[in-house]
Amino acid sequence: MSTGPLVKTKPAEKADEFAPQEGLFSERNLRRASPYLFTLFLFVVWELGCLAFDVAEYVLPRPTQFFEILLTRAPDLWGHSVQTLYTTVLGFALGVVTGVIIGIAVGSSKLVYAAAYPLLVGFNSIPKVAIVPILVIWFGIGTVPAVITSLVISLFPVVANVATGLATTQAELEDILRALGASKWDTLVHVGLPSSLPYFFASLKISISLAFVGTVVSETIAANTGIGSMMIVASSNFDVPLVFAGLVILAVMGVALYAVFAVLEQRMTFWAQTRPDEMG
């Protein structure tokens, strides 16, 4: 009955021809509501579990406790959230721009690939938390090391995916252009870049989540504002509900930005989605 979630059809054309369309509890509405319902369900289980086993607040606070904190300390939390969001998005944006440039260089030249790729992999293997102290020596504490950490951490997925996208461009597509006398630049603009867009957008979803990791890691070590720094202070005060409130904020921001890029991906790469052949 249900169209499996893996079979993507073009919206509005063929979706659920056989499913009952009307009614509040139609299969489609249920599917749309399911992520919210499931999250709510988990919080309820958590709440009841803590109550049933009488878990202390400083070990594992109940959801109602930290949601209360979210409300009562909203103005204070808002400032930290904006700082973290700003740092993350800035670092991510710079990381994407740098990543695309490096990715194009690595993906379109075998020489650059051979020379630079091992170095990139090695650089990517360094835990980013290890570079924060160096950044602090250079730039002091605060926004700058956090932006750079999130830049550095969101860089690699973009580089790897753009390079892969370019390197795996269908040779036949390139032949068509080459036979017309297209230059390398023409081929890149008309075939290489468009055909690596699906890879690029896939990498954005990964990178934005990583950018949060970078920011928060840096904030916990070297900052006076931001969710990461707030959580460190709260945990040294044994204010565990506030720590969990910070986690909730990070999770919500992460999901929201992921969703933005997922929608963008859908819009930009509709032509690359798997779909049943529309004609024989």
Partner 1 sequence: MDAEAQSNSHLIDIDDVSLRYGVGEGSTLALAGTSFQVSEGEFISLVGPSGCGKSTIVKLVSGLMPVTGGRLTVDGQPVTGPLSIVGIAFQNPVMLPWLSTLDNVLLPLKIVRPHRDHFRQRKEEFRDRARALLKVVGLDGFEQKFPWQLSGGMRQRASLCRALIHEPRLLLLDEPFASLDAFTREELWGVLQDLWLEKKPTIIMITHELREAVYLSDKVYVMSARPGRILYERDVRFDRPRPLEITFDDAFVEVAQDLRQYIQLGRNETSAEAGP
Provide the 3-class DSSP secondary structure of residue 75: helix
Using rule CB under 8 A, residue 147 touches partner 1 = no
Using rule CB under 8 A, residue 176 touches partner 1 = yes
Using rule CB under 8 A, residue 8 touches partner 1 = no
Using rule CB under 8 A, residue 11 touches partner 1 = no
How far apart are the C-alpha atoms of 159 and 116, rounded to whole Å?
11
Using rule CB under 8 A, residue 15 touches partner 1 = no
Say if CB 261 and CB 205 are below 8 A apart: yes
Say if CB 87 and CB 226 are below 8 A apart: yes
Say if CB 248 and CB 132 are below 8 A apart: no
Using rule CB under 8 A, residue 181 touches partner 1 = yes
**What DSSP assignment string belongs to 232-272?**
HHHHHTT-HHHHHHHHHHHHHHHHHHHHHHHHHHHHHTGGG
In whole angstroms, the minimum distance from the beta carbon of 107 to partner 1 comes to 18
Cα 82 to chain centroid, rounded: 17
Say if CB 191 and CB 174 are below 8 A apart: yes
| Count of positions (residues) in the chain | 280
Using rule CB under 8 A, residue 76 touches partner 1 = no
Nearer Cβ to partner 1, position 194 or 254? 194
Using rule CB under 8 A, residue 178 touches partner 1 = yes
Contacting partner 1 (CB under 8 A), which of 71, 172, 236, 267? 172
In whole angstroms, the minimum distance from the beta carbon of 189 to partner 1 comes to 10
Cα 206 to chain centroid, rounded: 4
Using rule CB under 8 A, residue 59 touches partner 1 = no
Q: Which stretch binds partner 1 (CB under 8 A): 14-22, 77-85, 186-194, 213-221?
A: 186-194
* Total chain residues near partner 1 (CB under 8 A): 24
In whole angstroms, the minimum distance from the beta carbon of 21 to partner 1 comes to 25
Using rule CB under 8 A, residue 13 touches partner 1 = no
Cα 257 to chain centroid, rounded: 7
User: Which two structure tokens, joined as six digits, stand for 205?
Assistant: 């979803």
Contacting partner 1 (CB under 8 A), which of 34, 170, 224, 266? 170
Using rule CB under 8 A, residue 116 touches partner 1 = no
Number of H helices, E strands in the chain: 11, 0
Nearer Cβ to partner 1, position 180 or 252? 180
Amino acid at 15: A
Using rule CB under 8 A, residue 9 touches partner 1 = no
Using rule CB under 8 A, residue 271 touches partner 1 = yes
Using rule CB under 8 A, residue 56 touches partner 1 = no
Using rule CB under 8 A, residue 280 touches partner 1 = yes
Using rule CB under 8 A, residue 45 touches partner 1 = no
Question: How many other β-carbons are positioned within 10 Å of the β-carbon of residue 82?
Answer: 13
How far apart are the C-alpha atoms of 276 and 280, rounded to whole Å?
10
Site for partner 1 in 194-213 (CB under 8 A): 194-195, 197
What residues make contact with partner 1 under the rule CB under 8 A?
A: 170, 172-173, 175-182, 186, 190-191, 194-195, 197, 271-272, 275, 277-280
